[in-house]
Amino acid sequence: MPSTDLDWWRDAVFYQVYIRSFADGNGDGVGDLAGIRARLPHLIDLGVDALWITPFYPSPMADHGYDVADPRDVEPTFGDLAAFDALLADAHAAGLRVTVDLVPNHTSHAHEWFEAALAAAPGSPERARYLFRDGRGSDGAEPPNNWPSVFGGPAWTRVPDGQWYLHLFAPEQPDLDFTHPEVLADLEETMRFWLDRGVDGFRIDVAHGMAKPSGLPDMLPMEDTGLLADHGPGDHRFDDDGVHEVHRRIRRVLDEYPGRMAVGEVWVSDDDRLAQYLRPDELQLAFNFKLLTAEWDAEDLRTAIEHSLATVEGTPAPACWVLSNHDRPRHVTRYGDGIVGTRRARAAALLQLALPGVAYVYNGDELGLPDVDLPDEALQDPIWERSGRTERGRDACRIPVPWSGDEPSYGFSSRRDTWLPMPEGWDRLTVAAQADDDASMLSLYRRALELRRTSSALRGDGLEWLPAPAGCLAFRRSGGLVCLVNLSADDVPLPEGELLLASTDVSDGVLPVDAAVWLRA
């Protein structure tokens, strides 16, 4: 078992396993639990502390598992409960914690509750667990309000008897009504089910959703109402004050299990509103997405860091840094792709991992994977169809991980065809190709994570900005680490101090453009 330190998560490095794309154990071209178990040695060598595994519950896969038909079982594509237990046991034996996704805001349309709701009449108790409403206009032919789905189109779908139901995401993901006592009771049962099996915590999906304002009033019309952005107080779909009562209930269950934690996916950018989710009786952690949405620009990144630190100041929570995930373009691509994007991604890794608090690494970050442009016919994300084929969606950042070999599927699966096709030319990005190359992204991550574990320079919550050349960022951690990132157009001199790690060669005493360095002051 991992060490018994109850606050283990406060400075942990979590590794996000997007289960469909990490490793395929049964040769069907889709990742699974057996695949993760077989690849644990990679995660141990990498040096992460914990896993977050994306949903592996029974699901029709309208949103690739975020449409959950039964939150207390395993989708056969991914394995079974015995496979989960075996993975958990092996991970714990190796000192790795395991956290799983909790998807409270909605179920799948194939959930037994929703099937019962469709079979029942308007006004029935079966419908009361979801948000069924009569429409507006003559014959109720207009949706009950003006809310759009974040995947495109209206957030309402009409059923044959004329009522409408709410789905902030796809029509196959009906929103639950959190004022219904059974809804929260069932969520608590799901939490206990996984906690009793031994999981170390949860990542809570759409943790700013769940509660809806009573009367479901129209929202402020907005240009971009798309996926996972925060549109502020006029957007009544998210961040309703009632959500905090849900978080208090979640926390009460967690507190029965010492040492377990929850991190929320909270797309709320106002520092004070985000901080409310981190009150002592709510979430232990909330993703801060400001690094993920910042440009490769010194001002922008500094602002992102300052706001993230300001958010947690005055809460019990540490900051929680994310560079990439399964919903956004990968940072190699955001920063310009190719050689430039990769250089910047190396520097960004040292920036992220130098900051005080928690870091989330998305599978493939450690290999420097870029996004992949897929042909129309390969696209799977519901956003593609729902947007009338105007938004390509998130498949580009979800390509399976390359492990070894010269051609697709690079050791990911025993078959060549994978659920999303893998590109030619990824042979130099595989784990095997990078493992023994000191100059690789993988070696940089391993070294950085080893220093995080072993060097006292990377301890302490305090961060102090240091004077830096124009276009550069420099700060000191209270443990003594100095991190300098060069986002300017010229080389800059290396500061004084013992060199711990650099994203590029700094032997001539200068830090090149788009590079970062760790020193001990």
Burial string for 371-387 (b: 16+ CB within 10 Å, else e) reads bbebeeeebbbbbbbbb
Please state the φ and ψ torsions of residue 247, each to the nearest 5 degrees. -65, -35
Residues in contact with ligand GLC, shown as a per-residue x/- string from 323 to 362 under the rule CB under 6 A = ---xx-----------------------------------
Q: Which is nearer to ligand GLC, 288 or 440 (CB)?
A: 288
365 binds ligand GLC per the rule CB under 6 A: no
Q: Which is nearer to ligand GLC, 66 or 403 (CB)?
A: 66
Q: Could you say which of 67, 205, 327, 381 is catalytic?
A: 205
Size of the chain, expressed as the number of residues it contains:
521
d(CA 328, CA 168): 18
Q: Which two tokens stand for residue 269?
A: 């950018």
User: Least Å distance between CB 293 and ligand GLC?
Assistant: 14
Q: Which is nearer to ligand GLC, 16 or 409 (CB)?
A: 16
- Collapsed DSSP state (helix, strand, coil) of residue 28: coil
Q: Which residue has the tokens 């760790």?
A: 518
Q: Which is nearer to ligand GLC, 66 or 277 (CB)?
A: 66
* Residues from 371 through 430 that contact ligand GLC (CB under 6 A): none
User: Least Å distance between CB 362 and ligand GLC?
Assistant: 11
Q: Which is nearer to ligand GLC, 237 or 477 (CB)?
A: 237
User: Least Å distance between CB 305 and ligand GLC?
Assistant: 23
Query: Is the four-CA dihedral 160, 166, 171, 173 of positive or negative sign?
Result: negative
d(CA 368, CA 445): 10
Q: Is residue 142 annotated as a catalytic residue, yes or no? A: no
User: Least Å distance between CB 168 and ligand GLC?
Assistant: 8
175 binds ligand GLC per the rule CB under 6 A: no
Partners of 50 in beta bridges: 14, 97
63 binds ligand GLC per the rule CB under 6 A: yes
Q: CB–CB of 346/515 below 8 Å?
A: yes
d(CA 505, CA 199): 41
d(CA 87, CA 71): 18
Among 15, 66, 130, 178, binds ligand GLC (CB under 6 A): 66
**Angle at the Cα of 27 from the Cα atoms of 23 and 32, rounded to 5 degrees:** 40
Q: Which two tokens stand for residue 70?
A: 């039964």
Nearest Cα neighbor of 317 from 260, 257, 271, 277 is 277
User: Least Å distance between CB 381 and ligand GLC?
Assistant: 8
228 binds ligand GLC per the rule CB under 6 A: yes
Q: Which two tokens stand for residue 453?
A: 């574990």
d(CA 166, CA 129): 11
Count of residues binding ligand GLC (CB under 6 A)?
Answer: 10
Q: How many Cα atoms sit within 13 Å of 50 on the Cβ side?
A: 27
Q: CB–CB of 9/203 below 8 Å?
A: no
Residue with nearest beta carbon to ligand GLC:
66
Residues in contact with ligand GLC, shown as a per-residue x/- string from 191 to 210 under the rule CB under 6 A = --------------xx----
Q: Which two tokens stand for residue 222?
A: 């907005």
Q: Is residue 241 annotated as a catalytic residue, yes or no? A: no
User: Least Å distance between CB 237 and ligand GLC?
Assistant: 12
Among 265, 371, 395, 514, binds ligand GLC (CB under 6 A): 265
User: Least Å distance between CB 436 and ligand GLC?
Assistant: 34
User: Least Å distance between CB 63 and ligand GLC?
Assistant: 5
Among 18, 169, 403, 518, binds ligand GLC (CB under 6 A): 169
Q: Could you say which of 218, 256, 297, 505 is catalytic?
A: 256
Q: Which is nearer to ligand GLC, 59 or 440 (CB)?
A: 59
d(CA 106, CA 503): 42
Q: Which is nearer to ligand GLC, 37 or 326 (CB)?
A: 326
Q: Which is nearer to ligand GLC, 131 or 468 (CB)?
A: 131
d(CA 354, CA 482): 9
130 binds ligand GLC per the rule CB under 6 A: no
Q: CB–CB of 467/487 below 8 Å?
A: no
Q: CB–CB of 405/430 below 8 Å?
A: yes
**Angle at the Cα of 332 from the Cα atoms of 518 and 353, rounded to 5 degrees:** 30
User: Least Å distance between CB 170 and ligand GLC?
Assistant: 8
User: Least Å distance between CB 166 and ligand GLC?
Assistant: 14
Q: Which is nearer to ligand GLC, 99 or 163 (CB)?
A: 99
Q: Which is nearer to ligand GLC, 293 or 443 (CB)?
A: 293
Strands (E), 61-124: 97-102
* Residues from 97 through 116 that contact ligand GLC (CB under 6 A): 103
Nearest Cα neighbor of 250 from 192, 175, 171, 170 is 192
Q: Which two tokens stand for residue 401?
A: 């991980």
| Footprint on this chain of ligand GLC (rule: CB under 6 A) | 63, 66, 103, 169, 205-206, 228, 265, 326-327
Catalytic positions are 205, 256
